Structure 1
């Protein structure tokens, strides 16, 4: 339970909201690098909810870009995963 609720969101936010967009923004521009990163994020989940993952990734990216604090998107991602967990298992 710890991995999908805490470890996953922390790693995913660091990689897909911070590292990848910041790495590619000089080449692609900020918007395209965010879209590219979120396409990767959604495809690497390997299931049918690609559009949901992409949309959520854009939301996480928005809050990261506005706040300039990765902890904000990490907290939102953790809360989302917790809601999905609670709705799915209870």
Structure 2
């Protein structure tokens, strides 16, 4: 199967606030519907934990993408360079 980016209009349910998946580099990504809240994570469990916490553990608020889908952080994060002071969650 070909990898393809998940379009914001393809969300599976009305109540989904966060999507969890992998970016093109294999990092775990969390992104909200509007592309304003999200992050990079070293493992799936940390990404899901963050998304569940941010959505107040509401059922159906977090959607995990299928493995063949690519997820990006969204426009609010795309032009930001990682500085040495920034850390990916889960890394020391």
TM-score (norm 1): 0.32
Hey, which of these two has a bigger chunk of strand by percent? 2
TM-score (norm 2): 0.31
Hey, which of these two has a bigger chunk of helix by percent? 1
